Copies of this chain bind each other. A is one copy, B any other.
Amino acid sequence: MPDVLKNDRFLRALRREPTDTTPIWVMRQAGRYLPEYRATRARAGSFMALAQTPEFACEATLQPLERFELDAAILFSDILTIPDAMGLGLSFANGEGPQFAHPVRSAADIAGLAVPDMDGKLRYVMDAVRLIRRELHGRVPLIGFSGSPWTLACYMVEGQGSRDFATLKALCWNAPKLAHQLLDTLARSVAAYLIAQAAAGAQALMVFDTWGGLLGPAPFREFSLRYMAQVVAALKANAHTRDLPAILFSKGAGQHAATLADTGCAGIGLDWTTDLAEIRAAVAGRVALQGNLDPAVMLASPDVIRREARAVMDSYGNHPGHIFNLGHGITPDVDPDHVKVLVDEVHAYGRTLRGS
């Protein structure tokens, strides 16, 4: 029997219930800016070994919680675990970006893809979730996550990172049926993956649509949003995930916030180029908002970090349903002491905002 949750600020804010202060966690909070993370990675030998060994993944997940009063933990993993389990052969050359040995290009490639067995090649993820959940002792909730169908497809078709992922876009335009077949397989895989994480103990779920913002408005709805909606619908239809809040994060897609809220997700993640006050008006209290400090602010002085954090919170205002976060992952060059400055300021100013 898992421990009772001691800090439920994050989950309460996701349900848009009042909290004593604003909860905060940080995208990529377990990462290279922490010397203890770099030590764990060195012991693991490679990023893949780190991500695929539950003990290492658990250690990395918990490290930022030892330093900072964060209100949630997030599974340490990679967003490309699903295509790797599909047999595409993921590697990270020289600490550079991801690469697939077998990118998906042809109709036969796409027809050959199947939803991976969650107790097979992805079992290490569920083992990590179980271990982390146990080691958390109910301190804060654990967030499980996946890449979005569109974002997974970007890497699978391109075979690696790209500025514009034009290879997948060309597939969408020249052979839309094939693109939809690929995205449907991925949506079913992402849903199964998140459901398995929930069954293993994840208490909230997040979908990272890192590259949805590369699409124009109509293609965004057709190729990215539609498949995130399919995932959310599948989560709502399953006993393990029916009551678990899901957060959708589409980088660069602030203009689509209201449509994202229509999916029935609990929260929307926002990058720093959007105005929280405007988005709050656009979604009309239907979802919680997560974000959205510019990660580059973390390179400024502590006083600036405090001021800019307060500006983000003022923009949202004294309403329930705000989860503080950066607008994108924290970068490796950030001083860990700056994260402490941020976390402490968010909690202190959150109390001030509430007049308590």
Task: Please report A residues at the B interface, Cβ cutoff 8 Å.
Answer: 164-166, 169-170, 173-174, 213-220, 252, 254-255, 272-275, 292, 294-297, 299-301, 304, 308, 311, 327, 331, 333
B174 touching A301 by the CB < 8 A rule?
yes
Chain B positions within 8 Å of A272 at CB level: 216
Q: How far is the CA of A98 from the CA of B333 in the complex (A)?
A: 23
A294 touching B216 by the CB < 8 A rule?
yes
Chain B positions within 8 Å of A217 at CB level: 273-275
Copies in the complex: 2
Can you give 23 contacting A-B residue pairs, CB < 8 Å?
Answer: A164-B295, A165-B296, A166-B295, A166-B296, A166-B299, A166-B333, A169-B294, A169-B297, A169-B299, A170-B296, A170-B299, A170-B300, A173-B300, A173-B304, A174-B301, A214-B273, A215-B294, A216-B273, A216-B294, A217-B274, A252-B273, A255-B255, A255-B273
Closest B-chain residue to A294, C-beta based? B216
Chain B positions within 8 Å of A294 at CB level: 169, 215-216, 219
6 closest residue pairs by CB, A with B = A173-B300, A169-B296, A166-B296, A170-B299, A173-B304, A216-B272
Chain A at the B interface: SS class: helix
Chain B positions within 8 Å of A273 at CB level: 213-217, 220, 252, 255
Chain B positions within 8 Å of A296 at CB level: 164-166, 169-170
Q: How far is the CA of A216 from the CA of B275 in the complex (A)?
A: 8
